[in-house]
Amino acid sequence: MHENVTPGAGHGSPASIVLEHVSKTYPTSGGGWTEAVKDVSLTVRQGEFLSILGPSGCGKSTLLRMIAGLLPVTQGRILVAGVEVKRPVTDVGIVFQKPVLLEWRTVLENVLLQPELRGADTRAFVARARDLLVSVGLEGFEDSHPRQLSGGMQQRASIARALVNDPPLLLMDEPLGALDALTREQMRVDLEELWLQSSKTVVFITHSIDDAVLLSDRVVIMSPRPGCIDHVIDIDLPRPRALAGRKHEGFHVAEEAITAIFLERGVLQRSRGLTAAEIARHTESSPATRRQTVS
């Protein structure tokens, strides 16, 4: 695997994923072509938590699907564990935005779908599946059906499903995107913990600056259409970051740096501004406590 480390990538660890000048174009209904991903070169190191952050439609999901071998690249090539991706990569766990559990199976049976589809003896995986369900916080729900679980719990089950075959690589496509804010907060903390306990490489697609900064070793910022790498930011915060990660000075520095990039690209826009009279009116009517939290 070591021979596939591209120059300049190395922080010591060998490469898990290498993208070399990867592009993806789609035919449009009008007969033209849309460039979804343009000339992306990137090396993901083994054991690294890497986020790909960008606005909707920047091709980040396309990128993930190409890494997984679920979509062919138009140009360039992708290596996973040193092997060029030409068909679906099997030594991988995937988590999507939707949990996509099979509703006729119990939670445990859903987790066991992975080895079952691989033609493995599922009995050998039962103990591991149960352990995983405990570690994602679903103890006691093994025999429940997906309908009986909240959205967050369903997503936890889908993470257990992705991990049951113990793949070295985890691809996550906005796994927290469909969750309510509080569940999301908890899931992020739990996900970091889970990752710290393992030694997996994670590629994490997100459009949340918070999630990217609080989880990642590196954040790859994609520019909108056509999706290409805008910046790569190292996040050098101590772990576990958990909820306290927000208090860290480095968190704010990183957030501001990313916000600045998005402002520059027009992904985010400054407020058009309030008149002095509007501000004054608001400040007068607000209770003191409110002013305090805002400041």
Partner 1 sequence: MDSAVSMPLGEGQVAFHRRSGLLDALARRRTVLITLALIMVAWQLGPRLLALPTYLLPPPSTVLMAFLEQWQRALNAAWITTTVMLGGFIAAAVFSTVFAVLIVSSQLVEDAIQPILLVFQVVPKIAIAPLFIVWFGFGWIPETVLVFLMAFFPITLSAVAGLKSADPDILDLARSTGASTWAMFRKIKLPQALPEIFTGLKVGITLASTGAITAEFIASDRGIGYLLLEWRADLNTPMVFAGIFLISAAGLLLYYVIEVIEHVTIPWHVSQRRDISHA
Contact set with partner 1 (CB under 8 A): 65, 68-70, 88-90, 92, 94, 96, 98, 100, 102-104, 113-114, 116-119, 135-140, 145, 147-150, 152-153, 156, 165, 183, 186, 190, 193
Nearer to partner 1, 134 or 279 (CB): 134
The whole-angstrom separation of Cα 158 and Cα 259 is 31
Contact 151, 179 (CB under 8 A): yes
Tokens of 272: 């058009």
Contacts of 53 (CB under 8 A, 6+ apart): 60, 206, 207, 208, 209, 212, 219, 220, 221, 222, 258
CB of 140 to partner 1, least distance (A): 7
For the chain, give the longest Cα–Cα distance.
72
The whole-angstrom separation of Cα 206 and Cα 188 is 12
**3-state DSSP call for residue 270?**
coil
Nearer to partner 1, 88 or 266 (CB): 88
CB of 178 to partner 1, least distance (A): 12
CB of 270 to partner 1, least distance (A): 37
Q: How many angstroms separate the Cα of 223 from the Cα of each of 46, 55, 57, 186, 208? A: 25, 8, 10, 29, 14
Nearer to partner 1, 46 or 186 (CB): 186
Nearer to partner 1, 139 or 278 (CB): 139
Nearer to partner 1, 10 or 88 (CB): 88
Nearer to partner 1, 194 or 219 (CB): 194
CB of 41 to partner 1, least distance (A): 24
CB of 283 to partner 1, least distance (A): 38
Residue given tokens 């509703």 in the structure block: 103
* Helices (runs of H) and strands (runs of E) counted in the chain: 9, 10
Nearer to partner 1, 15 or 138 (CB): 138
CB of 113 to partner 1, least distance (A): 7
Q: How many angstroms separate the Cα of 248 from the Cα of each of 181, 188, 239? A: 21, 17, 11
Q: How many angstroms separate the Cα of 191 from the Cα of each of 81, 95, 115, 135, 155? A: 23, 12, 22, 10, 11
Nearer to partner 1, 167 or 228 (CB): 167
- Residue 30 CA to its chain's centroid (Å): 32
CB of 131 to partner 1, least distance (A): 12
Residue 169: what residue type? L
Contacts of 7 (CB under 8 A, 6+ apart): none
CB of 220 to partner 1, least distance (A): 22
